[in-house]
Amino acid sequence: MPYLPLKDGVSLFYKDWGNSTGQPVFFSHGWPLNSDNWELQMNFLGNKGYRVIAHDRRGHGRSDQPWTGNDIDTWADDISQLFDYLNLTDVTLVGHSTGGGDLTRFAANSKADSGYGTYGCKKSSWVKKLVLISAIVPQLLQAPWSPSGLPMEALNGQRALMLKDRSQFFYDVPEGPFFGFNRPNATVSKGLIQSWYNQGMQASFKAVFDTVTSWQTDFRADLENLDIPVLVIHGSDDQVVPFGVGNKTVDYVKDGRLKVCPGGPHALPNIEADGINNDLLEFLKE
């Protein structure tokens, strides 16, 4: 399996599938999952001739589990090193939930940073487009300018539940709000619940606990620094990152559009896979 040794000694797992000479698409997963959660999108686009790449964020999946570095800036730098190593250019970024946060920070910094990476890849040419699905931007934490966000008490409550019994909490989340299985007449998939649980429990406790702090990040300056097309996709019934948070993203970008998934839950790449796949394909072809 492919691993990249990062500059701080952490080993980062990644997948590089599809057409090696095709247009590249990079995926960043949500909390507390790993690159496996993108399998439907990667399989779909890979079969359409695209080069599809995804990593397991440090502390998650098959990547190493360091004690430190579980924060937005380090995650963005990890992605930068992977892009440098793979010599990627003109990449469309696709981030779900927390993955939308690290890709927003990465995209903003890659456009602002000039010069060449270790392997000769010009940084300003790394990113072509950005897709944010159910993302934590512009800020998940409630603020006067974002009243629909989650109050600090809610974030602290999630920390407390992990400290009390992470195993039970990691069943409660997918059985309820993540996939929208707590809604009346929902078609419940035990397989999706178990897959979420397995991926979550594979991650280090330190990483998933520290990630909660990233949800307090204000990404407005990052978004304003972007000069690329940005597609925002958000479900109107997202119980994890409220729709009132995600729909504000387009207010801070120069070239953005919002696509609403009526009644859609947080887990759009899973529950609305066909729609998400077609949205990605259409955006890639533009």
Q: Which amino acid is present at 13?
A: F
Output the pLDDT for position 116: 47
Output the pLDDT for position 120: 45
Output the pLDDT for position 125: 85
Output the pLDDT for position 188: 98
Active centre residues (catalytic): 97, 238, 266
CATH code where residue 12 lies? 3.40.50.1820
- In this structure, is residue 188 part of a structural domain? no
Output the pLDDT for position 114: 47
Return contacts of 218-221, CB within 8 angstroms, 24+ apart: 218/138, 218/139, 218/143, 219/101, 219/104, 219/105, 219/136, 219/137, 219/138, 219/139, 220/138, 220/139, 220/252, 221/108
Structurally, the chain folds into a number of domains equal to 1
Output the pLDDT for position 123: 63
Q: pLDDT means per 10 residues in the chain (286 residues)? A: 94 98 98 98 98 98 98 97 95 98 94 49 79 98 96 98 98 98 97 98 98 98 96 98 97 98 98 98 98
Other CB atoms closer than 10 Å to residue 214's CB: what's the count? 19
- In this structure, is residue 225 part of a structural domain? yes
Range of the domain at 215: 3-148+209-285
- In this structure, is residue 196 part of a structural domain? no
Output the pLDDT for position 263: 97
Q: Is 171 exposed, middle or buried (0-12, 13-18, 19+ CB in 10 A)?
A: middle
